[in-house]
Amino acid sequence: MIILASKSPRRKQLLKKLVPTFKIIPADVDESKVRAPVAKLAEETSKLKARAVAKLYPNDLVIGCDTVVVYNNQIFGQPVDASDAKAMLKTLSGETHYVISGYTLISNGEEISRSVTSKVTFNHLSDELITAYVASGKPLDKAGSYGIQDEEFALVKKVEGSYDNVMGLPTEDLSKYLDLLKRNL
């Protein structure tokens, strides 16, 4: 069986593009304890998540994933509240940042971990747009306080790299390695 070690509805939606059936078992881990350079933080956090679930389900294929938004070498995680979301969005307005998703696959003692980076440029966001977006509640559970799929708010001007990666799961890259490990199930 394939297990997604995440409670993210976006990752569930994206994984369905690759695998029709899987279980969702969120990892119960303290992500704040992960120490790694900015470029490797998402990958290291994905390892923590995947290993925690794989320990409980050693005969299954476990997928752990984490996504971070990076601007000026600073990590923008999920906002702590609406005020934090507004501040992040104001900072990203009109600017270019990076979205890094790390994923880890564990199956029968084999482990594959990778990171995928996409470059995202925001439109200039008015205070009214930011206020309306935050009031919608959509940015409150997302790294960087935004979802690229929230197209009605016209946040993103340009994406270089994987759109799915910016949503939270780099399906194009993941599919190459997922097929390798699925054979072992």
Catalytic residue annotation:
66
Length of the chain: 185
State the DSSP code for 171.
H
**CB burial of residue 120 (10 Å; 0-12, 13-18, 19+):** buried
**DSSP notation for 37-105:** -GGGHHHHHHHHHHHHHHHH-TTSEEEEEEEEEEETTEEE-S-SSHHHHHHHHHHHTT-EEEEEEEEEE
- Nearest-Å Rg of the Cα atoms of the chain is 16
**∠ Cα 158 161 164 (to 5°):** 95
